[in-house]
Structure 1
Amino acid sequence: MRKKLDRRKKYTRKVLKESLIALLADDKPISAVTVKEICERADINRSTFYMHFSDPYDLLDHIESEIIEDMVAHLSHYRFTIEEESLKMTQKLLEYIAENRFLFQTLLVKNKDPAFEKRLMEVARRFMMSTVYHMNEADSRYLSTFVVSGAIHVIKDWLENDMDLPPEKMAALINRFANHGMSRLY
């Protein structure tokens, strides 16, 4: 009986998440999304929604937190002490984004959620700062902010252009820009 309830709870949360993402993908801002709309799309009662989430913002926060947790777990498998491994990590990150294309296009490009973008930046900065050696903390923080914000905007552009380059090529570009700046663009 317990497994059946857990399965039902997982299904309910899944359809609620999918419904909110679908509404956001239709260029509806989170501020205009109602619980009623989410429930109608999910074919779930409002009371069921409130058993899981307090409002659409709570649901969105839950979705974003799951993505961040999943990404951290995904990236934790890699070490970034040498440039080749950094390239592999960037490629794996872009592959993850490609696999979850609809979510990232919705949250980063269509919905332009600054909170989600900031959370992504914090994850990337944390991984990057752990590899910057021989630099004081302030310089390391500013360098990682500079590099990561540029990389996120490149990724957003890549998503807006329907991922016109494969993840491997995008990873090579981002790493080349980060490691060599404008000194070795070509």
Structure 2
Amino acid sequence: MESSKMDRRKKYTRMRLRDSLIELLKDKEITAITIKELCEQADINRSTFYAHYRDQLDLLETIEEEIIEDMAAYMAQYEERQEDDQQMIEKLMAYFASKKEVCRILLNDKKDTGFQKKVMTFAHQTFMKNWTPGSELDEDLYEYVSTFIISGSIHVIKRWLNNDMDKSPKEMAEIINRLVKEGLGES
């Protein structure tokens, strides 16, 4: 019984710290956030913070990793059904929509987080593993093309999040899928 209470307290403390860091990241760079203000925002003492994390960067890293793991678990349920690219992209857009605030903050160009790189790696592993380029692409060129596709898609997603998701996840999936498969359609 005592262990259950501790687990709930630990989870609550970690949740408060995560939420507080995300709130502070709205206005500040991670390097400008002090442990003192993070603890004040979370209403915990410094020793409690240090019982869970080394520093604010460790907390940020944990948040980013948890989101990537959550995203992977979310997408895995659809991969098993072998849904087509359009449906998979739509599910990914729905995931970003469900985590809109935290994703918008972590994917912000003005904030120095490694989250975008983690999302790029995840997207490459999730989407590009099944993509078979035409025979005209050698392995070197494939790496450039796949990087272009993933980077462009992430920037489209960032624009969408910053535009308060002015289109539905389905509409965004159609846009991204069309751009990936057909380009701009200009010769």
Task: Answer yes or no: same fold by TM over 0.5.
Answer: yes
Q: Residue 145 in 1 paired to residue 144 in 2?
A: no
Asked whether the 8 Å contact 1:16–1:39 carries over to 2, the reply is yes
* Aligned counterparts of 1:178 and 1:98: Cα–Cα separation in 2: 21
* Aligned counterparts of 1:38 and 1:158: Cα–Cα separation in 2: 29
* Aligned counterparts of 1:16 and 1:171: Cα–Cα separation in 2: 33
* Aligned counterparts of 1:171 and 1:112: Cα–Cα separation in 2: 26
Unaligned runs of 5+ in 1: none
The alpha carbon displacement at 1:85 in A equals 1.2
TM-score by length of 2: 0.90
Q: Residue 35 in 1 paired to residue 70 in 2?
A: no
Q: Residue 78 in 1 paired to residue 60 in 2?
A: no
Q: Which whole-Å deviations, capped at 9, do the CAs of 1:137-182 have from their partners, x for residues lacking one?
A: 4333222211010000001111111111111101100000011101
Alignment CA distance shift 1:92-1:47 (3 Å): same
Q: Which whole-Å deviations, capped at 9, do the CAs of 1:85-139 have from their partners, x for residues lacking one?
A: 1111111111111111110111112753351101100000111221122665433
Asked whether the 8 Å contact 1:28–1:111 carries over to 2, the reply is no
* Aligned counterparts of 1:128 and 1:139: Cα–Cα separation in 2: 17
Which deviates more, 29-38 or 175-184?
175-184
Unaligned runs of 5+ in 2: none
The alpha carbon displacement at 1:59 in A equals 0.4
CA RMSD of aligned residues (A): 2.0
* Aligned counterparts of 1:41 and 1:104: Cα–Cα separation in 2: 20
Q: Residue 160 in 1 paired to residue 167 in 2?
A: no
* Aligned counterparts of 2:91 and 2:22: Cα–Cα separation in 1: 24
Identity %: 48
The alpha carbon displacement at 1:79 in A equals 3.4
Alignment CA distance shift 1:163-1:124 (3 Å): same
Q: Which amino acid aligns with 2:72?
A: V
Matches within 5 A, 1:2-151: 2-25=3-26, 27-79=27-79, 85-109=84-108, 111-133=110-132, 136-151=138-153
Asked whether the 8 Å contact 2:149–2:180 carries over to 1, the reply is yes
